Structure 1
Amino acid sequence: MPISTIEKPLPVSITERAASEIKQIMANKNIPAEYALRVGIRGGGCSGLSYLLGFDKAKETDDAYTHPDGFGILIEKKHAMYVLGMQIDFEDGVNARGFIFSNPDVPQS
Protein backbone atom coordinates (compact mmCIF):
# COMPACT_ATOMS: atom_id res chain seq x y z
CA MET A 1 0.00 0.00 0.00
CA PRO A 2 1.64 3.31 -1.03
CA ILE A 3 2.15 5.97 1.60
CA SER A 4 0.71 9.35 0.66
CA THR A 5 2.92 12.41 0.84
CA ILE A 6 2.01 15.05 3.40
CA GLU A 7 1.42 18.48 1.93
CA LYS A 8 2.64 20.54 4.85
CA PRO A 9 5.99 22.00 5.86
CA LEU A 10 8.81 19.62 6.61
CA PRO A 11 9.39 19.18 10.34
CA VAL A 12 13.16 19.32 9.63
CA SER A 13 15.18 21.73 7.54
CA ILE A 14 17.85 20.58 5.15
CA THR A 15 20.49 23.07 4.03
CA GLU A 16 21.42 23.46 0.37
CA ARG A 17 24.76 21.72 1.01
CA ALA A 18 23.05 18.76 2.66
CA ALA A 19 20.37 18.50 -0.06
CA SER A 20 23.06 18.57 -2.74
CA GLU A 21 25.01 15.79 -0.98
CA ILE A 22 21.84 13.69 -0.54
CA LYS A 23 21.02 13.99 -4.26
CA GLN A 24 24.62 13.14 -5.16
CA ILE A 25 24.57 10.04 -2.92
CA MET A 26 21.27 8.93 -4.44
CA ALA A 27 22.68 9.28 -7.97
CA ASN A 28 26.12 7.76 -7.27
CA LYS A 29 24.77 4.80 -5.29
CA ASN A 30 21.87 4.19 -7.70
CA ILE A 31 19.28 4.42 -4.92
CA PRO A 32 15.98 3.13 -6.44
CA ALA A 33 13.18 5.65 -6.99
CA GLU A 34 10.90 3.94 -4.45
CA TYR A 35 13.39 4.76 -1.67
CA ALA A 36 13.45 8.02 0.28
CA LEU A 37 15.67 9.63 2.89
CA ARG A 38 14.76 8.34 6.33
CA VAL A 39 15.31 10.81 9.18
CA GLY A 40 14.95 9.43 12.67
CA ILE A 41 16.41 8.75 16.06
CA ARG A 42 18.08 5.84 17.72
CA GLY A 43 17.72 5.38 21.44
CA GLY A 44 21.01 5.21 23.12
CA GLY A 45 22.14 4.22 26.58
CA CYS A 46 24.39 6.71 28.34
CA SER A 47 24.69 9.23 25.52
CA GLY A 48 20.95 9.60 25.03
CA LEU A 49 19.37 9.83 21.60
CA SER A 50 21.30 9.97 18.37
CA TYR A 51 19.98 11.03 14.98
CA LEU A 52 20.07 8.76 11.97
CA LEU A 53 19.88 9.15 8.21
CA GLY A 54 19.48 6.42 5.65
CA PHE A 55 17.53 5.37 2.59
CA ASP A 56 14.48 3.19 3.00
CA LYS A 57 11.09 2.27 1.59
CA ALA A 58 8.03 3.85 3.17
CA LYS A 59 6.20 1.96 5.91
CA GLU A 60 2.68 2.41 7.24
CA THR A 61 4.08 4.01 10.40
CA ASP A 62 5.81 6.80 8.41
CA ASP A 63 4.90 10.32 7.46
CA ALA A 64 6.19 10.98 3.93
CA TYR A 65 7.25 14.41 2.66
CA THR A 66 8.78 15.71 -0.54
CA HIS A 67 11.78 18.02 -0.29
CA PRO A 68 11.69 21.03 -2.68
CA ASP A 69 14.68 19.46 -4.50
CA GLY A 70 12.49 16.49 -5.39
CA PHE A 71 13.64 13.67 -3.10
CA GLY A 72 11.34 11.99 -0.60
CA ILE A 73 11.74 12.18 3.16
CA LEU A 74 10.37 9.62 5.61
CA ILE A 75 9.90 10.21 9.32
CA GLU A 76 8.44 7.53 11.53
CA LYS A 77 5.44 9.06 13.28
CA LYS A 78 6.74 8.22 16.75
CA HIS A 79 10.04 10.01 15.96
CA ALA A 80 8.43 13.25 14.75
CA MET A 81 8.45 15.04 18.10
CA TYR A 82 12.18 14.32 18.53
CA VAL A 83 13.24 15.65 15.12
CA LEU A 84 10.88 18.64 14.97
CA GLY A 85 12.91 21.80 14.33
CA MET A 86 16.12 19.92 13.55
CA GLN A 87 18.46 21.26 10.86
CA ILE A 88 20.52 18.86 8.75
CA ASP A 89 23.67 20.33 7.25
CA PHE A 90 26.70 18.85 5.51
CA GLU A 91 30.32 19.63 6.26
CA ASP A 92 33.17 18.85 3.89
CA GLY A 93 36.25 20.23 5.58
CA VAL A 94 39.85 19.27 6.19
CA ASN A 95 39.13 17.69 9.57
CA ALA A 96 35.64 16.29 9.02
CA ARG A 97 33.20 15.22 6.33
CA GLY A 98 29.62 14.30 7.07
CA PHE A 99 26.13 15.32 8.02
CA ILE A 100 25.62 17.58 11.02
CA PHE A 101 22.42 17.59 13.07
CA SER A 102 21.48 20.59 15.16
CA ASN A 103 18.25 21.19 16.97
CA PRO A 104 17.83 24.55 18.70
CA ASP A 105 14.78 23.18 20.55
CA VAL A 106 16.86 20.60 22.45
CA PRO A 107 18.78 21.98 25.46
CA GLN A 108 22.55 21.44 25.27
CA SER A 109 24.29 19.93 28.28
Structure 2
Amino acid sequence: MATATAAPETVKPATPLTLTDKAVEKVREIMATQDPLPSGLRIGVVGGGCSGFQYSMSFENQAGMMDKVLSFDNLKVYVDATSMMYLSGCVVDYVETLEAAGFKFENPSVKSTCGCGSSFSV
Protein backbone atom coordinates (compact mmCIF):
# COMPACT_ATOMS: atom_id res chain seq x y z
CA MET A 1 0.00 0.00 0.00
CA ALA A 2 1.41 3.35 -1.06
CA THR A 3 1.63 6.13 1.46
CA ALA A 4 1.04 9.72 0.54
CA THR A 5 3.77 12.15 1.37
CA ALA A 6 3.29 15.86 1.60
CA ALA A 7 4.96 17.95 -1.06
CA PRO A 8 7.84 20.00 0.26
CA GLU A 9 6.75 23.47 1.28
CA THR A 10 8.05 26.23 -0.94
CA VAL A 11 9.80 28.84 1.12
CA LYS A 12 9.75 32.32 -0.34
CA PRO A 13 13.01 34.14 0.39
CA ALA A 14 12.66 37.21 2.58
CA THR A 15 12.77 40.53 0.79
CA PRO A 16 15.55 42.94 1.63
CA LEU A 17 14.94 45.90 3.86
CA THR A 18 12.05 48.18 2.81
CA LEU A 19 11.36 51.84 3.64
CA THR A 20 7.83 53.20 3.39
CA ASP A 21 7.13 56.37 1.41
CA LYS A 22 6.58 58.23 4.69
CA ALA A 23 9.98 57.08 6.03
CA VAL A 24 11.73 58.13 2.80
CA GLU A 25 10.04 61.54 2.95
CA LYS A 26 11.14 62.09 6.57
CA VAL A 27 14.72 60.99 5.88
CA ARG A 28 14.90 63.43 2.94
CA GLU A 29 13.52 66.21 5.16
CA ILE A 30 16.17 65.58 7.83
CA MET A 31 18.96 65.16 5.25
CA ALA A 32 18.12 68.56 3.75
CA THR A 33 19.13 70.19 7.06
CA GLN A 34 22.61 68.61 7.04
CA ASP A 35 25.69 70.52 5.87
CA PRO A 36 27.28 69.06 3.85
CA LEU A 37 24.42 67.12 2.33
CA PRO A 38 25.03 63.38 2.90
CA SER A 39 24.80 60.96 -0.01
CA GLY A 40 22.62 58.47 1.83
CA LEU A 41 21.33 56.82 4.98
CA ARG A 42 23.04 53.99 6.84
CA ILE A 43 20.78 51.51 8.63
CA GLY A 44 22.35 48.85 10.79
CA VAL A 45 22.05 46.51 13.73
CA VAL A 46 24.47 46.88 16.63
CA GLY A 47 24.95 44.92 19.82
CA GLY A 48 23.48 46.48 22.92
CA GLY A 49 20.37 47.15 24.89
CA CYS A 50 18.74 44.78 27.34
CA SER A 51 17.62 42.32 24.63
CA GLY A 52 20.90 42.04 22.73
CA PHE A 53 20.55 44.16 19.55
CA GLN A 54 19.55 47.70 18.61
CA TYR A 55 18.83 49.43 15.31
CA SER A 56 21.08 52.28 14.23
CA MET A 57 20.53 55.02 11.67
CA SER A 58 23.04 57.63 10.54
CA PHE A 59 23.93 59.65 7.48
CA GLU A 60 26.87 58.65 5.27
CA ASN A 61 28.80 60.23 2.43
CA GLN A 62 29.64 56.95 0.69
CA ALA A 63 29.06 53.22 0.87
CA GLY A 64 31.58 50.91 2.48
CA MET A 65 33.27 48.15 0.49
CA MET A 66 31.02 45.40 1.88
CA ASP A 67 27.78 47.40 1.94
CA LYS A 68 24.61 46.52 0.10
CA VAL A 69 23.24 49.71 -1.45
CA LEU A 70 19.45 49.90 -1.69
CA SER A 71 17.54 52.67 -3.42
CA PHE A 72 14.12 54.00 -2.46
CA ASP A 73 12.90 56.75 -4.79
CA ASN A 74 16.57 57.68 -5.42
CA LEU A 75 17.37 57.72 -1.68
CA LYS A 76 20.45 55.56 -1.16
CA VAL A 77 20.39 53.30 1.89
CA TYR A 78 23.61 51.57 2.94
CA VAL A 79 23.48 48.32 4.93
CA ASP A 80 26.52 46.29 5.95
CA ALA A 81 26.45 42.54 5.25
CA THR A 82 26.11 41.51 8.91
CA SER A 83 23.20 43.88 9.55
CA MET A 84 21.46 42.71 6.37
CA MET A 85 21.16 39.22 7.90
CA TYR A 86 19.08 40.71 10.74
CA LEU A 87 17.15 43.21 8.59
CA SER A 88 15.96 40.90 5.82
CA GLY A 89 12.21 41.40 5.43
CA CYS A 90 12.20 44.42 7.78
CA VAL A 91 9.96 47.40 6.99
CA VAL A 92 10.98 50.83 8.28
CA ASP A 93 8.16 53.36 8.67
CA TYR A 94 7.88 56.83 10.17
CA VAL A 95 5.03 57.25 12.64
CA GLU A 96 3.63 60.26 14.45
CA THR A 97 1.30 59.90 17.43
CA LEU A 98 0.23 62.21 20.23
CA GLU A 99 2.85 60.62 22.50
CA ALA A 100 5.84 60.43 20.17
CA ALA A 101 7.20 60.46 16.64
CA GLY A 102 9.96 58.38 15.14
CA PHE A 103 11.08 55.58 12.90
CA LYS A 104 9.46 52.22 13.54
CA PHE A 105 11.04 48.90 12.54
CA GLU A 106 8.70 46.00 11.74
CA ASN A 107 11.07 43.05 11.64
CA PRO A 108 9.78 39.49 11.07
CA SER A 109 13.04 38.04 12.47
CA VAL A 110 12.55 39.52 15.94
CA LYS A 111 11.64 36.96 18.60
CA SER A 112 11.33 39.36 21.53
CA THR A 113 11.82 43.00 22.46
CA CYS A 114 12.65 44.73 25.72
CA GLY A 115 10.01 46.55 27.74
CA CYS A 116 10.88 49.97 26.33
CA GLY A 117 11.02 48.65 22.75
CA SER A 118 14.49 49.98 21.95
CA SER A 119 16.25 46.62 21.69
CA PHE A 120 15.43 43.15 20.39
CA SER A 121 16.58 39.56 20.12
CA VAL A 122 16.43 37.11 17.21
TM-score bin (small chain):
0.7 to 0.9
When normalised by structure 1's length, the TM-score is 0.78
Structure 1 runs of 4+ with >4 Å offset = none
Partner of 1:94: 98
How big is each residue's C-alpha offset from its partner over 1:2-61, in whole Å with a ceiling of 9 and x where there is no partner?
Answer: xxxxxxxx711111211110111112324525x211011010153211111111121112
Task: List gaps (5 residues or longer) in structure 2.
Answer: 1-14, 114-122
Quote the offset at 1:70 in angstroms. Answer: 0.9
1:66 aligns with 2:71: yes
The percentage of aligned residue pairs carrying the same residue is: 32
> What SS class does the counterpart of residue 74 from structure 1 fall into?
strand
Equivalent pair of 2:51/2:112 in contact (CA under 8 Å)? no
Q: Which is greater in Rg? A: 2
Aligned pairs for 1:19-58 (under 5 A) are 19-30=24-35, 32=37, 35-44=39-48, 46-56=50-60, 57-58=62-63
Which one of 13, 16, 19 corresponds to residue 11 of structure 1? 16
* Superposed CA RMSD: 1.8
Aligned length: 98
User: Which runs of 5 or more structure 1 residues have no equivalent in the other structure?
Assistant: 1-9
Amino acid at match of 2:106: S
Write the deviation string for residues 51-103 of structure 1: whole angstroms up to 9, x where unpaired. Answer: 11111121112111221x11101000121111111110111221001111111
Q: Which has the higher contact order (CA 8 A, sep 6+)?
A: 1
Q: Secondary structure at the match of 1:28?
A: coil
- TM-score normalized by structure 2? 0.71
